[in-house]
Amino acid sequence: MKTVLITGGTGFIGSHLCDFLLDKDYRVICMDNLITGSEDNIAHIMQNKNFTFIRHDVTNYIDIKGRLDYILHFASPASPIDYLELPIQTLKVGSLGTHNALGLAKEKKARFLLASTSEVYGDPLVNPQPETYWGNVNPIGPRGVYDEAKRFAESMTMAYQRFHKVSTRIVRIFNTYGSRMRINDGRVVPAFINQALRNKALTVFGKGTQTRSFCYISDLVWGIYRLLLSDVNTPVNIGNPTEMTILDFAKQIIQITGSKSKIIFKPLPVNDPKMRRPDISRAKRELNWESVVDIQQGLRNTIKYFIGCI
């Protein structure tokens, strides 16, 4: 039985990875300081004999006894509300946290997978965004704390791969949705669903012409697992290439929920990306992966989850 450490394992994506890997007969160690995660997300697996939860801040030295085969580094605030309220912590987990996790991977001779993000592309000037695109990021803007933390984490990961010969993988995650998202985390899917279920006005920033693409959580987790076991040691986009405007997405949420909500418009936040769509050619070619869950079905599943939260 192989052992995997998941940092940020009580978060939205991290907790789904815990479930998935336990089902695949891995021994899972979940590490989190609960700054944005929740023990509620792992309550159903706490009694599993192959699961261990350790409350720890990865910006401090990490000490794990015994063998580790894989380290999945998912610790980081990830929503705009979180990283704007926690700018220093976001920068520290991307730098010190990544350094500590990579040091542990080197010590244990474990394969390391970094959870990066489409935000490394900033406000892109090309569409869709391939992994070869270097991005258009404002390092001193309010979103820079997250964008640059992840860009630094990627650089650190590649340095450990080249200099220390650590086996590394980098996944660039595009907008993902599903159960266990926090309803008040500020991201567009929970925000729209929460407003629609309460028949409150859906808040669209700008004119709503900015585009996003949405990948269901089960598709993302499967893609991460395929990458983890692959030989691909350069960044890989994992996301749904189907693109839609935020305005159209708001209308779709209203239609699926049967809400009486109207749509209101507010000023666009600073450096908010105008386009976000992954080029998944590398994932298709190297991992034989692409998203399969239809947006309508994925949203129905997610809305059902949020109904239970309200």
Please list, residue by residue across 100-121, b when 16 or more beta carbons sit within 10 angstroms of its beta carbon and e when fewer do: bbbebbeebebbbbbbbbbbbb
Tell me how far apart the alpha carbons of residues 183 and 277 are, in angstroms, rounded to a whole number. Answer: 24
Q: Which residue blocks in 78-143 are alpha helix, DSSP H? A: 80-85, 87-92, 98-108
Could you say which of 26, 146, 160, 177 is catalytic? 146
Tell me how far apart the alpha carbons of residues 264 and 212 are, in angstroms, rounded to a whole number. Answer: 19
Is 146 catalytic? The answer is yes
Per the document, the length of the chain is 310
Tell me how far apart the alpha carbons of residues 59 and 92 are, in angstroms, rounded to a whole number. Answer: 6
E strands, the chain, in order: 3-7, 27-32, 51-55, 70-73, 111-117, 168-173, 176-177, 202-205, 211-213, 215-216, 236-238, 243-245, 263-266
* Catalytic residue IDs: 146
